[in-house]
Amino acid sequence: MEQRADIALIGLAVMGQNLILNMNDHGYTVVAYNRTVSKVDDFLNDQAKGRDTILGAHSIEEMMALLKRPRKIMLMVKAGKAVDDFIETLLPHLASGDLIIDGGNSHFPDTIRRTKYLESKGLLYIGTGVSGGEEGARFGPSIMPGGSPQAWPLVKDIFQAISAKTPAGEPCCDWVGEDGAGHYVKMTHNGIEYGDMQLICEAYQLMKEGLHMTNEQMHAAFTEWNKGELDSYLIEITRDILGYKDEQGEYVVDKILDTAGQKGTGKWTTVSSLDLGMPVTLIGEAVYARCVSAMKEERVTASAILQGPKTTIEGGREAFVEDIRKALLASKIVSYAQGFMLLREAAKEYNWKLNYGGIALMWRGGCIIRSVFLGKIKEAFERQPDLVNLLLDGYFRDVLASCQQSWRRVVAQAAQAGTPVPAFMTALAFYDGYRTARLPANLLQAQRDYFGAHTYERVDRPRGEFFHTNWTGRGGSVSAGVYTV
């Protein structure tokens, strides 16, 4: 059999099929394979019909025989055991320098482990984020590859050809970093996506419940928002959702039960932020907000028992909608700043050299969080590659300053009216915490020292010197460094 395929793709669910078609559109010969082999012929006879450079394999042996060397095999299978199973199945057939790529939503520690495992066998591994859903996979996803650095030149052309492009024509795909870096960045992308969605939902709640706006009016507001700084895929689809009616001429959004689902990437981001000690509070609130929404029955019960205020939102509708827009923009800046703080800490922990401007560029197109805003983040990191925090960039600092009165009004009015806006609130609390030179942690340290002799550092002494006070006169002057109470 002739070795003529550029790449193999295993896993013919819709993402896999669409990636194959996308690669084929860009001139690559692809061999398709699937655990349930009948799906290979289904695909060849249906979506891939008439394309003689999409080949089908009915066994691993047949797939291998069709591949050019070094062989590149991409897995688009369910995250978890399916990936490990396929790796084991492929191993006996692979030769030194061959490459396995996992394009699923794998958890980054798995990708770290798998990269080490395959490299120990003289093979190459890539774990890559692919974002943009079915449409993205077909016509241009954001692709975030990490793994064995030697593998990047083998797939760079294919990946950059099939990826989304920015308005300036740059590919939304570049090398992210070693082992699990690609999947980590994809995970963070998904966390930020949770945050963006929650912020939009809070804006919707304020418009709907606070300002009593109709779907039509909200549709119009989102249409306007999408023309400015908030221009993004999520604002755009929200606009369309708010205007969408069913066959009965009724709004579909009003018929949808208010309980959110989740697949876990937001949770992973939050767990990782806790592991790394990074205050990624907005994504955390977004995850918890979904959990609160899922407690539907309890909420219905509680709504008849727990009292709220009688106040409603004050001020003119038009002015308050503009306040909400600014609150959303400011909160979004905080959320992305927190996301990049997390990436920076993860890079330290896992020894990745991340290019933050490059990551913003990868998210600029193709993926769910794509937006004009990400172009501004890329510019900030271009101006200052070692920027400590996005909030400190001149552009974002000024936007925050110009939004903050509106932001504070929205949070204050929401609190007065009893409308839950946890993401707006946590963003503002973080902003105020981050810009406060002296926080009350002096008292906290005193408390810890009081009950646990945990010691403290002093404002009038160099960092790294620890002191203990015998607060009660009973505990002695021995600190917890010596014994634990």
For the annotated catalytic residues, the residue numbers are 186, 193
CB of 85 to ligand 2AM, least distance (A): 5
- From candidates 8, 11, 321, 360, binder to ligand 2AM by CB under 6 A: 11
Strands lying side by side in the sheet with 30-33: 54-56, 30-33, 7-10, 72-75, 99-102, 124-131, 142-147, 177-178
Could you tell me which stretch among 9-17, 132-140, 341-349, 378-386 binds ligand 2AM (CB under 6 A)? 9-17
Three-class SS state of 385? coil
DSSP secondary structure code for residue 456 in this structure: B
What one-character-per-residue DSSP string does 371-382 give?
BHHHHHHHHHHH
Nearer to ligand 2AM, 36 or 307 (CB): 36
User: Binding to ligand 2AM by residue 448, rule CB under 6 A?
Assistant: no
Contact yes or no for 466/455 (Cβ under 8 A)? yes
Q: Is 179 helix (H, G, I), strand (E, B) or coil?
A: coil
CA atoms of 102 and 106, how far apart (whole Å)? 8
Q: Among residues 134 and 157, whose Cβ is nearest to ligand 2AM?
A: 134
Of residues 55 and 387, the one with the C-beta less far from ligand 2AM = 55
Residue 12 makes contact with ligand 2AM by CB under 6 A: yes
- Of the candidates 46, 85, 275, 398, which one interacts with ligand 2AM according to CB under 6 A? 85
- Taking CB under 6 A as the criterion, the residue among 51, 78, 317, 448 binding ligand 2AM is 78
Q: Under the criterion CB under 6 A, does residue 82 sit at the interface with ligand 2AM? A: yes
**How many CB atoms are located within 10 Å of the residue 437 CB?**
4
Q: Kindly give the pairing relationship between strand 142-147 and strand 124-131.
A: antiparallel
Q: Quote the CA–CA distance of 157 and 254 in Å, as a whole number.
A: 45
Site for ligand 2AM in 351-380 (CB under 6 A): none
Q: Is residue 128 within 8 Å of 115, Cβ to Cβ?
A: no
Residue 81 interacts with ligand 2AM (CB under 6 A): yes or no: yes
Q: Is 88 in the site for ligand 2AM (CB under 6 A)?
A: no
CA 294 – CA 88 distance, rounded (Å)? 38
What character string, x for contact with ligand 2AM (CB under 6 A) and - otherwise, covers 13-52?
x--------------------xxx--x-------------
Quick one: which segment of 42-50, 80-88, 327-335, 384-392 binds ligand 2AM (CB under 6 A)? Answer: 80-88
CA distance 173 to 28: 18
- The overall longest dimension of the chain from CA atoms, in Å, is 88
Using CB under 6 A as the binding rule, whether residue 463 contacts ligand 2AM is answered as: no
Shortest distance (Å) from residue 81 CB to ligand 2AM: 6
Q: How far apart are CA 414 and CA 392, in angstroms?
A: 28
Measured N-to-C along each axis, helices 281-294 and 296-303 cross at an angle, to the nearest 10 degrees, of 80
Smaller CB separation from ligand 2AM, 35 or 156: 35
CA-wise closest residue to 139 among 293, 26, 306 = 26
Measure the CA–CA gap between 219 and 296, rounded to whole angstroms: 26
Give least dist CB 367 to ligand 2AM, A: 20
Q: Closer to ligand 2AM by CB, 76 or 329: give it.
A: 76
Residues listed for the chain: 485
Min dist CB 315 to ligand 2AM, Å, is: 50
Total residues at interface with ligand 2AM (CB under 6 A): 13
Q: At what angle do helices 14-25 and 152-162 cross, to 10 degrees?
A: 90
Q: Minimal distance in Å, beta carbon 80 to ligand 2AM?
A: 8
Which of 82, 237 has the CB closer to ligand 2AM? 82
- When the beta carbons of 12 and 410 are compared against ligand 2AM, the nearer one is 12
Helix (H/G/I), strand (E/B), else coil: 455: coil
Q: Does 423 bind ligand 2AM (CB under 6 A)?
A: no
Least CB distance from residue 32 to ligand 2AM, whole Å? 10
Q: From the CB of 30, what's the least distance to ligand 2AM, in Å?
A: 15
Tokens, residue 21? 């078609």
**In the complex, least distance from residue 58 CB atom to ligand 2AM, rounded to whole angstroms:** 13
Mapped onto helix, strand or coil, the DSSP state of residue 384 is: coil
Q: Please name the residues in contact with 193: beta carbons below 8 A apart, sequence gap of 6 or more.
A: 234, 266, 368, 369
Contact 335, 363 (CB under 8 A): no
Q: Which is nearer to ligand 2AM, 36 or 303 (CB)?
A: 36
Q: Which is nearer to ligand 2AM, 83 or 185 (by Cβ)?
A: 83
Give the C-alpha separation, 99 to 308, whole Å: 59
Least distance from ligand 2AM to the Cβ atom of residue 139, Å: 20
54-56 and 72-75 as β-strands: parallel, antiparallel, unpaired?
unpaired
Binding site for ligand 2AM (CB under 6 A): 11-13, 34-36, 39, 77-78, 81-82, 85-86
